[in-house]
Amino acid sequence: MTTALPPPKKKDPVRRTRQPTLPPGNRSREAQGLTAMAAVGRFALQICTACGQTQYPPRQVCGNCLGDDLPWRDLDPGGTLLAETRLHHANDLFFRDRLPWRLGVVRMDAGPSVVVHLAEDCQQGMRVRLSLNLDRSGHAVMNARPETPGPNSEDDLQLRELTMDPKDRRVLIVNGKTELGLALAQGFKAAGAREIFVGYAEPWKASAALDAAKAVDGVTLFPLDVTDTDSVQELAAVLGGKVEIMVNNSYHPRPGGAVDRLDMNLSREEMDIHYFGLLRLAGYFGPTMRARGADGAHGACAWVNVLSAYAQVNNPAFGTYSASQAAAWSLAQCLRAELSPGGIRVVNAFMGPLDDEWHQMVPPPKLPSDMVAGRIIEALQKGREDVPIGAVAEEIMQRLVENPKEIEREITL
Amino acid sequence: MADGQDAKAAISNTAGGNAAGGMLGQLLGGILGGGIRVVDLTMTLQPDVPTIVMPPEFGQSWPFRMEEISRYDHRGPFCYWNNLSCGEHTGTHFDAPIHWVSGKDLPENATDTIPVEKFIAHACVVDCSAQAAADPDFLLTRDAVEDWEAVHGLIPPRSWLLMRTDWSLKQNPVAYMNMTDDGAHTPGPHEDLIPWLIEERDVIGFGCEAVGTDAGQAQHFNVPFPCHYHMHGNNRFGLPALTNLDALPPQGAVLITPPLKIRQGSGSPARVLALVEAT
**Cβ atoms of A293 and A300 closer than 8 Å:** yes
Number of domains in chain A: 2
Cβ-Cβ contacts under 8 Å, B65 against chain A: 227-229
Number of domains in chain B: 2
Q: Is residue A284 part of a domain?
A: yes
Amino acid identity for residue A17 in this structure: T
Q: For the whole prediction, is pTM greater than 0.90?
A: yes
A269 CA: distance to closest CA in chain B (Å): 9
Query: Pairing state of beta strands B273-277 and B253-256?
Result: antiparallel
Confidence band (pLDDT; 50, 70, 90) for A413? Answer: low
Q: Which helix (H) or strand (E) holds A184?
A: helix A179-190
What is the pLDDT at residue A22? Answer: 95
Q: How many helices (H) and strands (E) does chain B have?
A: 8, 15
Q: Is residue A9 part of a domain?
A: no
Regarding whether A158 and A175 lie in a shared domain, the answer is: no
Answer whether A178 touches B (CB < 8 Å).
Answer: no
Regarding whether B6 and B103 lie in a shared domain, the answer is: no
Q: Is there a contact between A204 and B176 if contact means CB atoms under 8 Å apart?
A: yes
What is the pLDDT at residue B16? Answer: 44
B178 CA: distance to closest CA in chain A (Å): 7
B191-232 pLDDT, tens per residue?
Answer: 999 999 999 999 999 999 999 999 999 999 999 999 999 999
Q: Is there a contact between B180 and A206 if contact means CB atoms under 8 Å apart?
A: yes
Q: Is there a contact between A227 and B66 if contact means CB atoms under 8 Å apart?
A: no
Query: End-to-end alpha-carbon separation of chain B, Å?
Result: 21
What is the pLDDT at residue B1? Answer: 42
Confidence band (pLDDT; 50, 70, 90) for B21? Answer: confident
Regarding whether A179 and A41 lie in a shared domain, the answer is: no
Answer whether A244 touches B (CB < 8 Å).
Answer: no
CATH number at residue B191: 3.50.30.50
Quick check: helix, strand or coil at residue A121? coil
Contacting residues for A51 by C-beta, under 8 A, at least 6 apart:
A62, A64, A65, A67
Bridge partners (DSSP) listed for residue A141: A133
| CA–CA separation, A8 and A202 (whole Å) | 34
What is the pLDDT at residue B6? Answer: 61
Q: How many CB atoms lie within 10 A of CB A339?
A: 24
Cβ-Cβ contacts under 8 Å, A229 against chain B: 65-68
Q: Is there a contact between B50 and A263 if contact means CB atoms under 8 Å apart?
A: no
What is the pLDDT at residue A25? Answer: 84
Residue B7 has pLDDT above 60, yes or no: no
- The parent domain of residue A37 ranges over 32-162
| CA–CA separation, A177 and A197 (whole Å) | 13
B126-162 pLDDT, tens per residue?
Answer: 999 999 999 999 999 999 999 999 999 999 999 999 9
Confidence band (pLDDT; 50, 70, 90) for B10? Answer: low
Residue A245 has pLDDT above 60, yes or no: yes
| CA–CA separation, A218 and A238 (whole Å) | 17
Cβ-Cβ contacts under 8 Å, A203 against chain B: 173-174
Q: Is residue B236 part of a domain?
A: yes
Q: Is residue A27 part of a domain?
A: no
Answer whether A406 touches B (CB < 8 Å).
Answer: no
Closest CA to B264 of B118, B94, B98: B98
**Mean residue pLDDT across chain B:** 93
Of residues A300 and A10, more confidence is placed in A300
Nearest to B47 among A203, A230, A269 (CB): A230
Confidence band (pLDDT; 50, 70, 90) for A391? Answer: very high
What is the pLDDT at residue B11? Answer: 54
| CA–CA separation, A168 and A10 (whole Å) | 12
Of the given ranges (A79-83, A218-222, A381-385, B30-34), which has the lowest mean pLDDT? B30-34
Q: Which of A162, A180, A215 is the last residue of a domain?
A: A162
Q: Is residue A123 part of a domain?
A: yes
Regarding whether B117 and B18 lie in a shared domain, the answer is: no
A178-191 pLDDT, tens per residue?
Answer: 999 999 999 999 99
Cβ-Cβ contacts under 8 Å, B63 against chain A: 227-228
Q: Which of A100, A131, A162 is the last residue of a domain?
A: A162
Answer whether A217 touches B (CB < 8 Å).
Answer: no
What is the pLDDT at residue B17? Answer: 45
Confidence band (pLDDT; 50, 70, 90) for B2? Answer: very low
Residue B18 has pLDDT above 90, yes or no: no
Regarding whether A195 and A67 lie in a shared domain, the answer is: no
Nearest to A204 among B47, B65, B177 (CB): B177
B69 CA: distance to closest CA in chain A (Å): 13
Of the given ranges (A67-76, A188-197, A397-406, B255-264), which has the lowest mean pLDDT? A397-406
Q: Is there a contact between A230 and B53 if contact means CB atoms under 8 Å apart?
A: no
Regarding whether A363 and A259 lie in a shared domain, the answer is: yes
Closest CA to A22 of A380, A332, A344: A344
Residue A192 has pLDDT above 90, yes or no: yes
Task: Name the residues of B annotated as catalytic.
Answer: 99
Quick check: helix, strand or coil at residue A297? helix
- The parent domain of residue B148 ranges over 40-59+88-277
Nearest to A265 among B60, B67, B173 (CB): B60
| CA–CA separation, A234 and B98 (whole Å) | 38
Q: Which of A134, A162, A190 is the last residue of a domain?
A: A162
| CA–CA separation, A141 and A155 (whole Å) | 19
Residue B20 has pLDDT above 80, yes or no: no
**Cβ atoms of A293 and A343 closer than 8 Å:** yes
Q: Is residue B71 part of a domain?
A: no
Q: Is residue A56 part of a domain?
A: yes
B187 CA: distance to closest CA in chain A (Å): 17
CA angle A247, A305, A323 (to 5 degrees): 140
Interface test with B, best of A202, A204, A252, A276 (most B CBs within 10 A): A204
Confidence band (pLDDT; 50, 70, 90) for B53? Answer: confident
Regarding whether A396 and A331 lie in a shared domain, the answer is: yes
Nearest to A231 among B47, B173, B181 (CB): B47
Q: Is residue A67 part of a domain?
A: yes
Regarding whether A102 and A37 lie in a shared domain, the answer is: yes
Regarding whether A184 and A147 lie in a shared domain, the answer is: no
Regarding whether B158 and B236 lie in a shared domain, the answer is: yes
| CA–CA separation, A46 and A25 (whole Å) | 21
Q: Is there a contact between A205 and B53 if contact means CB atoms under 8 Å apart?
A: yes
A156-176 pLDDT, tens per residue?
Answer: 999 999 999 999 999 999 999
Q: Is there a contact between A204 and B174 if contact means CB atoms under 8 Å apart?
A: yes
Regarding whether A142 and A182 lie in a shared domain, the answer is: no
Q: How many CB atoms lie within 10 A of CB B26?
A: 15
| CA–CA separation, A255 and A271 (whole Å) | 14
What is the pLDDT at residue A267? Answer: 95
Q: Is residue A396 part of a domain?
A: yes
| CA–CA separation, B205 and B215 (whole Å) | 15
Local structure of residue A215 (DSSP, 8 states): T
Q: Is residue B78 part of a domain?
A: no
CATH number at residue A271: 3.40.50.720
**Cβ atoms of A84 and A147 closer than 8 Å:** no
Answer whether B62 touches A (CB < 8 Å).
Answer: yes
What is the pLDDT at residue B19? Answer: 58
Q: Is residue B151 part of a domain?
A: yes
A–B: how many Cβ contacts below 8 A? 37
A323-373 pLDDT, tens per residue?
Answer: 999 999 999 999 999 999 999 999 999 999 999 999 999 999 999 999 999
Answer whether B53 touches A (CB < 8 Å).
Answer: yes
Q: Is there a contact between A206 and B181 if contact means CB atoms under 8 Å apart?
A: yes
Q: Is residue A18 part of a domain?
A: no
Mean pLDDT confidence for A149-160: 90
ipTM greater than 0.90: no
Q: Is residue B232 part of a domain?
A: yes
Confidence band (pLDDT; 50, 70, 90) for A270? Answer: very high
